[in-house]
Homo-oligomer: A and B are copies of this chain.
Amino acid sequence: MAQKPSIPKGTRDFNSETVAKRNYIFDTIKKQFQVYGFQPIETPSFENSETLMGKYGDEGDRLIFKILNSGEYLKKISDEDYAERSETKLTPKISEKALRYDLTVPFARYVVQHQNEIEFPFKRYQIQPVWRADRPQKGRFREFYQCDADVVGSTSLFQEVEFIQLYDAVFSALQLKGATLKINNRKILSGIAEVIGAQDKLIDFTVALDKLDKIGEEKVKEEMLSKGIPDNGIAKLQPLFELSGSFGAQIESLKSILITSEIGLKGIEELEFINTAISQLELKSAILQLDVTLARGLNYYTGAIFEVSAPDGVKMGSIGGGGRYDDLTGIFGLQNMSGVGISFGLDRIYLVLEELNLFPESVLENTKVLFLNFGEQEALYSLKAVSQLREQSINAELFPDLITSGKQMKKQMNYANKRNIPFVVVIGDEELKSKVYSLKDMSSGEQITVSLQELQEKLS
Contact = CB atoms under 8 A, between A and B. Distances in A.
A280 interface: yes
B397 A123 contact: yes
A51 B97 CA distance: 22
Given A45-B129, A47-B7, A131-B45, A16 B277 contact: no
A400 interface: yes
A2 interface: yes
A438 interface: no
Contact of A94 (B36, B68, B113): B68
A27 B40 CA distance: 15
A398 interface: yes
A344 to B, nearest CB: 17
Interface residues of A, number: 109
Chain A contact residues, majority secondary structure: mixed
Taking the full assembly, how many copies of this chain does it contain?
A: 2
Interface in A85-128: 85-87, 90-91, 94-97, 99, 109-110, 112-114, 117, 119, 121, 123-124
Contacts of A73: 87
Interface of A: 2-8, 11-16, 19-20, 23, 31-32, 34-37, 39-48, 50-51, 62-63, 65-68, 70-74, 82, 85-87, 90-91, 94-97, 99, 109-110, 112-114, 117, 119, 121, 123-124, 129, 131, 133, 143, 151, 154-156, 158-159, 161-162, 165, 169, 277, 280-281, 330-333, 366-367, 373, 379-380, 383-384, 387, 390, 393-402, 415, 418-419
